[in-house]
Amino acid sequence: NAGVTQTPKFQVLKTGQSMTLQCAQDMNHNSMYWYRQDPGMGLRLIYYSASEGTTDKGEVPNGYNVSRLNKREFSLRLESAAPSQTSVYFCASAKGTDIANYGYTFGSGTRLTVV
Amino acid sequence: AQSVTQLGSHVSVSEGALVLLRCNYSSSVPPYLFWYVQYPNQGLQLLLKYTSAATLVKGINGFEAEFKKSETSFHLTKPSAHMSDAAEYFCAVSDPAGGYQKVTFGIGTKLQVIP
């Protein structure tokens, strides 16, 4: 009954370093999403994948890349981390792209600090 | 473009008092609307959703929300606050212009319940 699993839960990076945030879901969901959460700004969509093999930019894609490795996994990569990318990152999944009918299931988040 | 505005980033109520969290939306067509709750150090959980059926929507934990098209509002209420309701609440919108594929979140309202 894992749902959406994100790793790592915490990470500290130096400016310029790269890293990949991992997300996996075991609910056979088709669509997956990456959001970042910042104080006073709510959640903002970085990238999403409506189905295996497709990815699209969200509201704030600059500085990030994604890979939909298979139906279960959707990773987020920071190629050259910047302090502005300090945030809490949430992965979410949904059974279909009709969000109203299927809703989101969220992971517990990755807290990333870039120094 | 779709958006939501949550009035009040912090709301305090006494235990047993009415909870009212305000949300107004902006969308070119009737959207789908959601309320999510986030407990400390956790991901978001869906409280309730409006998808053009009944305008009064009941959710989990005794919460409900009413869709008012004339006021472009979707306020969240609960008759009697409980200590366990202390959390951050997010209003969110999804509209057909985006194929209902994406959800835009408000900035969130932190609810404090005073014993």
Q: What is the pLDDT of residue A8?
A: 96
The residue among B2, B5, B39, B44 with the most chain A CBs within 10 A of its CB, best to mutate, is B44
Q: How far is B115 from chain A (nearest CA, A)?
A: 26
- Nearest alpha carbon to residue B21 among B3, B48, B42, B40: B48
Count A/B contacts: CB-CB distance under 8 Å: 60
Asked whether B67 and B33 are in contact (CB, 8 A), the reply is yes
Interface list for B 84-103 with A (CB within 8 A)? 90, 94, 99-103
**Virtual torsion, Cα B76, B53, A45, B59, nearest 10 deg:** 40
pLDDT of B48 reads: 92
pLDDT band at A32 (very low <50, low <70, confident <90, very high): very high
Average pLDDT over residues A6-21: 96
The residue ranges of chain B whose pLDDT is under 50 are none
Phi, psi of B104 (to 5 degrees): -105, 125
Q: Is B67 exposed, middle or buried (0-12, 13-18, 19+ CB in 10 A)?
A: buried
pLDDT at res. A61: 96
What integer best gives the mean pLDDT of chain A?
A: 92
Asked if B102 and B72 touch (Cβ cutoff 8 Å), the reply is no
* pLDDT at position A62: 96
Task: Round to whole Å and give the CA distance between A111 and B114.
Answer: 29
Q: Are B65 and B3 in contact (CB under 8 A)?
A: no
Q: For residues B38 and A28, what is the distance between their CA atoms, to the nearest angstrom?
A: 24
Q: Are A31 and A97 in contact (CB under 8 A)?
A: yes
Question: Any idea what the Cα angle at residue A98 is, between residues B49 and A108, rounded to 5°?
Answer: 65
Phi-psi region of B47 (alpha: psi -120 to 50; beta: other; left: phi over 0): alpha
Looking at residue B100, its pLDDT comes to 58
Q: Enumerate residues 6+ apart whose C-beta is below 8 A from B12.
A: B111, B112, B113, B114
Give the model's confidence band at A101: pLDDT under 50 very low, under 70 low, under 90 confident, else very high. Answer: low
Per-residue pLDDT, A1:
62
- % of chain A surpassing 90 pLDDT: 76
In a mutational test of the A interface, the residue from B3, B10, B35, B103 whose CB has the highest number of chain A CBs within 10 Å is B103
Distances (CA, A) of B105 to A22, A80, B5, B89, B110: 23, 27, 9, 10, 14
Task: Report the C-alpha gap between B11 and A72 in whole angstroms.
Answer: 38
Model confidence pLDDT, tens digit, residues A66-96: 999 899 999 999 999 999 999 999 999 988 7
For a pLDDT cut of 90, what percent of chain B falls above it? 63
